[in-house]
A and B are shown apart, each in its own frame.
Chain A
Amino acid sequence: MFSVINSEWYKLRKSKVLFLLLIAPLIGLFIGIANSSIEIEGINAWHGKLVMMNFTYAILFLPLISGVLASVICRYEHQEGGWKQLLALPVTRGKVFLSKYLLLILLMLVMQLMYLVSIYLVGMIEGITDPFPMDIVWKSIFGGWVATLPLIALQLWVSIAFKSFAAPFAINVIFTLPTILVINSERFGPYYPWGQPFLMMNIGGSTEDVFFVPWDQILMVVGGSFLLFFIGGYLYFLKKAI
């Protein structure tokens, strides 16, 4: 299993797209610096920054970048018979799918951590003196990552299904753009895979829970859609004619 991940990492690393991981945290950084937050008495100054930065980061860039990476990790397999070459090696299709998925979610975790660095840098530059709200930030960073798990499974599925690079990208953009509208709907918002990262990262709600969103909702919506997309993509790949 490790050897397959190692090989995947090698191919992805050489495709020189990893700089994409920097884009979203950098944009978060600029947005954080460019907008001066309104100081409200009694509320931690980090909160204002976070609300603003999370908005663009989680609604727009996080799902876009994860989608591009999912397309890239399949693109070189589609291009010149890579699938054929790879699957004629002594590997199971299941391991190939799992390796690609694990690699993607690890990269997204790296991106989340870089975003955390961005948040900290913004505070340093702006000279925020309030204590760094560690628990809130962790909930946002880690919770946001958990919420991308179903989305990435879906994006990987779509990327495997379409031979062209443009199709999965276009689909991803089409579903990312309305996120801002969909998350305002209380009924559909939580069920929209592209909206889940924002809902999980958005600070507020009860701070007693491990995440900002109650556990039962996470288990049901994030867990449920993860199982749906992961198993769907997995089975699709096992059956796909190469």
Chain B
Amino acid sequence: MEYIVETKHLTKSFGKEKAVSNLEMKIPKGEIYGFLGPNGAGKTTTIRMLLGLMRPTSGSVQLFGKDMKNNRIEILKNVGSLVENPSYYPHLTAKENLEASRKILNVPKKRIDEVLQQVRLHGVANKKVKGYSLGMKQRLGIAAAMLHQPELLILDEPTNGLDPSGIIEMRQLIQSLPKEYGMTVLISSHLLSEIDQMATRVGVVSKGKMIFQDSIETMRKFAQASIQVKVNDNEAAWRSLLANGQKADLGEESVTLQAEDDEQVAASIRYLVQQGFSIYRVQEEKRSLENIFLEMTKEEQAG
């Protein structure tokens, strides 16, 4: 498989503290890769190393199959980025900010209007960025990242500070990029719901380690449903199910059936009815991705 981003044993230490440790990130072409982890897990440090802003303590970074160490300029010609808080020159307008980058990137002037249109800042293009709201600055940052139509777009917390409608717009924009321009996108976030709605692949990082990396579908499979039954006497019902050889867990207010298919659920319910329990409720509960994410990162922290 062709990987746009591939890191090998990537490690960054600050003193004794390992901010990133043995990280192996693999991003295939055309994917929207959600880079997920709690605050301080090492996401931004990893992204800085991907952009060559920071040198790894050990390990390597390869973008487009080229080593970052020796091909930095060549690689960066095809990478657009927004790292952490939006970066900008406060004394310049949006247009002038983009012009300062454009001179270095050497792209046609019309690209400035095009990207401003894409992030819907064309109305305020001639105002000083100093007076922009956080959301507008964020959008300007994304516009700057797309100026040279890069093959790889790296966005660190791109929806920070955006209002709900801004988030939806941004999501639509990001989702359209692989389809329309064949871009590969890396988005980092600490919010799973956000990644869940955009990403096609997920990497979960905790304490500097990659603890999960696969397609979003695989991650969703972890979110298996369970059946909760509420009866007049939960404990008695639970004992009776166990005595009958059916798997169940006792919860505080209900019994959870560990059923693998619908027939098993039906069998358990039939049995409970026959035993004379009053069944108040049978409901399906899905473990949310949020819970899975929390469990994943918690296990790591405990260990």
Q: Tell whether A and B belong to one assembly.
A: yes
Q: Give A residues with C-beta under 8 Å from B.
A: 3-4, 6-7, 10-11, 14-16, 76, 79-82, 84-92, 241-242
B293 interfacial contact with A, CB 8 Å: no
Using Cβ atoms and an 8 Å threshold, which residues of chain B touch A11? 89, 92, 100
Cα-based distance from A81 to B144 in the complex (angstroms): 13
Residues of A within 8 A of B194 (CB): none
Note all chain A residues with C-beta closer than 8 A to B116.
none
Give the residues from 83 to 118 in chain B that come closer than 8 angstroms, CB to CB, to chain A.
83-92, 96, 99-101, 103-106
The CA-CA distance from A14 to B76 in the complex, in Å, is: 27
Give B215-229 as 1s and 0s: 1 = Cβ < 8 Å from A's Cβ atoms. 000000000000000
Asked if B302 lies at the interface with its beta carbon under 8 angstroms from chain A, I say no
- CB of A85, distance to nearest CB on chain B (Å): 4
| Given A4-B104, A10-B103, A85-B101, A90 contacting B73 (CB threshold 8 A) | yes
Beta-carbon nearest neighbor of A9 in chain B: B103
Does B11 have its Cβ within 8 Å of any Cβ on chain A?
Answer: no
Q: Which residue, of A16, A79, A88, has the highest number of chain B Cβ atoms within 10 A?
A: A88
Interface residues of B in 41-89 (CB under 8 A from A): 48, 51, 53-54, 72-74, 76-77, 79, 81, 83-89
A3: chain B residues within 8 A (beta carbon): 103-104, 106
Q: Which residues of B contact A16 (CB under 8 A)?
A: 91
Q: Which residues of B contact A88 (CB under 8 A)?
A: 51, 53, 76, 79, 81, 83
Query: B91: which of A76, A87, A241 is its contact (CB, 8 Å)?
Result: A76
- Return the CB mask of B15-54 against A: 1 if under 8 Å, else 0: 0000000000000000000000000000000001001011
Contact B89 A7 (CB under 8 A): no
B54 x A241 contact (CB < 8 A): yes
- Give chain A residues whose Cβ lies under 8 Å from the Cβ of B99: 10
**In the complex where A4-B104, A76-B90 touch, is A91 in contact with B85 (Cβ < 8 A)?**
no
Chain A nearest Cβ from B180, distance in angstroms: 23
A10 to B84, CA, bound (A): 25
Identity of the chain B residue whose Cβ is nearest the Cβ of A5 in the assembled complex: B103
In the complex, A105 Cα to B153 Cα: how many Å?
37
Nearest CB on A from B141, distance (A) = 8
A123 to B17, CA, bound (A): 67
A242 and B87 in contact (CB under 8 A), knowing A7-B100, A10-B99? no
CA distance A76 to B92 in the complex (A): 10
Contact: A7 with B88, CB < 8 Å?
no
| A14, B54: Cβ atoms closer than 8 Å | no
What is the CA–CA distance of A16 and B88 in the complex, to the nearest angstrom?
A: 17
**Contact call B87/A85, Cβ cutoff below 8 A:** yes
Q: A88-B76, A90-B77, A91-B73 are in contact. Are A15 and B104 (CB under 8 A)?
A: no
B13 to chain A, nearest CB (A): 13
Name 10 extra pairs, CB < 8 A, besides A81-B87, A88-B79, A241-B54.
A3-B103, A7-B100, A7-B104, A11-B92, A11-B100, A81-B83, A81-B85, A82-B89, A85-B88, A88-B83
Residues of B within 8 A of A80 (CB): 85-90
